[in-house]
Structures are given as C-alpha cells and as structure tokens.
Amino acid sequence: MKKEALFCTIIVGLLGTSVARGATEPKLIFDPGTLAARDSHLAVKVGDRAPDFSLPSIGGRRVSLAEYRGKRNVVLSFVPAAWTPVCSGQWPGYNIAQPVFEQRQAVVLGITTDNVPTLHAWTTNMGGMWFEVLSDFWPHGAAAKKYGILRSDGTTERALFLIDKQGVIRYIDVHDINERPPLDKLLAELDKLK
Amino acid sequence: MKTTLGTGLTVMCALALGLGCGKKQAPSGQDAEPIPFASVKEVRLPAPPEQAASYLGIPAGATDVALTKIGAEILLIQVFDMYCMNCQREAPDVNALYERVQGSDLAKRVRFLGIGKGNTQTEVRIYHERYKVPFPLFADPNKKAVNQMGIDRTPTFVIVDLKRQRVLHEQWRLESAESMFERLRKAGG
C-alpha cells in the first residue's frame, strides 16, 4: 500500500510539472485560422462623444470610461478573444510599452467579450497587465455594440479607439482581425493630443 | 481494489506523458538544422548608432551592415519580437548570457546582436529600454532580414562562425544562459 501511495505521489507530481510547463507553451493558444477581416458596422466616428460604459475588471472593480474624463487620454483596445494568437501578442506588447503610454498621459483599457475568470487566467498566463482588463461578457458585448464592433459570432473586432480627456473620440482603427494594429500610428495619434 | 487503482494510475501516467511529452513542435532549446550560411550572407541591416557600430567593429560612416562584415569571430544573433511573450520572459537570461560572455575569455571574440522580427524602430526601442538590453538591436519591420534567413519563430538564436563562414547552431528559445554559453565556448574552439 505504501508503494502505491508513493507511486501516486510521483504521478501527481509529474502531472503538476507537466501542467505548469504547459502554461507557458504556445499549445494553450487556440488558432481559429484566418477570419473575415471585419464583420460589423461601426456606430461611432471621430469627433463623436465616446459612449460610456461600466464593465467589471479582473481586478474586481467596475471601471467606467467616465472616470477618466478630465484626467487621462484613453486607448480602448478591443481584442476578439482570449487565448488566440494575435491577441496574445498585442497586449503583452502594450504591457511593456507602459512608459510610452504614460508619457502621453494615456491609459489603456483592454476589453474582450470573455468572462472575468477567463480573462484572469489568460492575462495571468501572460505575466499580468499594467492596464485594466475589462469583461464585456454580460450583457454580452453591450459596450462593443455601442461602438459598433460586435461581430456576428459574439467576439469583437480588433479595434482601437483613442479618446481624449474631454471624452471625444479622436482616432479609430478597426483593424483586420487577423493582424496586429501598428503601434507607431497609435502613438502618433496620441502625440497629436499633447 | 488493486485493479481499480492500477487502471487509475495507468490513466494518470498516460495523462502525464500526454501533457508533458506530446509536443508536436520541435523541442525548445535543442538543436535544429542550422540555416545555411548563404542566407546569413545576404542579410544587411541599417547602420547602427556610433557606440553599437564600434562594438560590432563596423567602420564609422557605413550606410548599412552586412552581417558577414561584423568584426568578430563568432556572432550570436537573437531574432526576437517585442510582442512575443517568450522573448520577454527570456530577456533577462539573454542579458545574463551577454554578461557571462563579457566576463570570460570570449569577450573579444563574440558579438551579440538582436533583430526585431516585424518590429519598427519604436517597438525595438521599447523592448531595448524595458529590458535594458546591453547589445545592439535592429528593427526589421518588413521581416526582410528574418525572411532571408528563413527564420519564423521567436526567440531564435543563431551562432555564426564568421571566420570559417559557417552557421554552427540554431535553436528556438534560450532556456538556459549557461548551456548557450557552453555552445559559444565550443564555437570559439
């Protein structure tokens, strides 16, 4: 019986090691293949007042767009889904770009239609994000709908909205969902707000 | 009871092996078929700032850099991407490898450089500053250099023997600064 208990311990240890190692491996990422570049109709335009929203963050509080008014420029980064290829590079890139956003008095709000536990697991696997990560899961895609970027499969477009301190939309990039939006262009638009 | 336990253990074994050892991709940190030297020979990068040019042994005023003209016996190329999580995770270890080389008898013979796959100058600068990378990094926004070398995954490390004009080693992911140091030592004869 003691031998069996020891064997069980070894196997459970092996499993634990395997799962822990797997957590950093690309095999966790689901590749949906190439998708239609866009699948929605934009509901806002540059110059519009940005629609407000209040969404739960993985940090446990609700975050509204209005709380940044008069304080910070806001970059809304909608990405289609957790655990997918382009999204799993885009946010880690923004993560190490924190100084360049802060120099431009900007915060990033990262939003998907995944639920909070999924976003927590995904971003923890990526080492954590300095910016707020928000769930537009329920009512499903309500914030995305306000901006006109909810796709027919319930995910969002890969979209950037730059909103100035007055709450006005100054730049929109509803990007090909299969590609990462150019960071240089976003930073150039932020520079115009100085 | 024994049968049930035995079956359970068998299933757990299969799970453990499946999760841990069932990789379809080439294992990280291990030998891959190195790229041919001819592909490295084609690569030209924009001239770096003066300090980096001096480190790489490039004549002042050069408009671009042919990898084969770098003034070193051994060249370690790191192909990275600012957006790549594994590159971010391994950056401190790559810096440690650089320091290890600098503190050894290989210091004058080995040079490091990084190529940012698909990264603009701005993105390379962000990566450079975030991780305080001590060796020159080059932007490759259109992936021209990495395509010439036939490298797709990041981070990839390539050891080139410039003196004998051979690519000695190529691997995906660093995994261990010490093991790469040993490879460099071996490359240096």
Of A27, A89, A99, the CB nearest to B83: A89
Q: How far apart are CA A183 and CA B120, in angstroms?
A: 9
Q: Would you say residue A117 lies in a domain?
A: yes
Tell which residue, B38, B43, B81, has the closest CA to residue B64.
B43
Q: Which is the CATH superfamily of the domain at B28-53+65-187? A: Glutaredoxin (3.40.30.10)
Distance of CA B96 to the CA centre of its chain: 13
Tell me the residue range of the domain where A96 lies.
Answer: 38-191
* pTM of this structure: 0.83
B122–A183 CB contact, under 8 Å? yes
Q: Classify residue A49: in a domain, yes or no.
A: yes
CB contact under 8 A, B12 and A15: yes
pLDDT for the residue B150 = 94
- For testing contact with chain A, the best of B90, B126, B133, B143 (most A CBs within 10 A): B126
Task: Please indicate, yes or no, if residue A116 is contained in any of the structural domains.
Answer: yes
Which residue's entry shows tokens 């008898």?
A: B105
Contact call for B123 and A19, based on CB within 8 A:
no
A134 to A90, A110, A163: CA distances (angstroms): 15, 6, 17
> Under an 8 A CB cutoff, do B16 and A18 touch?
yes
Among A12, A15, A103, most B C-beta atoms within 10 A, so best to mutate, is A15
What domain count does chain A have?
Answer: 1
CATH number, domain with residue A116: 3.40.30.10
H or E element in which residue A20 lies:
helix A2-22
Q: Which residues of A touch B86 (CB under 8 A)?
A: 24
pLDDT truncated to tens, each residue of chain B (189 aa)?
444 444 444 434 333 333 333 333 455 655 667 888 888 888 999 888 888 889 999 887 888 889 999 999 999 999 999 999 999 999 999 999 999 999 999 999 999 999 999 999 999 999 999 999 999 999 999 999 999 999 999 999 999 999 999 999 999 999 799 999 999 999 987
The active-site residue, picked from A63, A82, A86, A87, is: A87
- Could you write out the three-class secondary structure of B7-67? HHHHHHHHHHHHHHHCCCCCCCCCCCCCCCHHHHHCCEEECCCHHHHHHHCCCCCCCEEEH
pLDDT score of A12: 39
The pLDDT of residue A25: 54
Is A4 part of any domain? no
The minimum CA-CA distance between B155 and chain A, rounded to whole Å, is: 13
The DSSP H or E segment spanning A7 is helix A2-22
Verify whether residue A8 is a known catalytic residue. no
In a domain, A21, yes or no: no
Q: Which of A22, A183, A184 sits opposite B19 (nearest CB)?
A: A22
Which residue's entry shows tokens 């799993």?
Answer: A88
Asked, for residue A9, whether it belongs to a domain, the answer is no
The confidence score (pLDDT) of residue A30 equals: 86
CB pairs under 8 A between A and B: 69
In chain B, count of helices (H) and strands (E)? 7, 7
pLDDT, position B61: 80
- pLDDT value at position B42? 85
Q: How far apart are the first and last CA of chain A?
A: 72
pLDDT at B50 (0 to 100): 84
- Comparing alpha-carbon positions, the chain B residue that sits nearest to A93 is B83
Residue segments in chain A with a per-residue pLDDT below the cut of 50:
1, 5-24
**CB-based contact A132:A110 (threshold 8 Å):** yes
Q: Is residue A51 part of a domain?
A: yes
Spans of all domains in chain B: 28-53+65-187
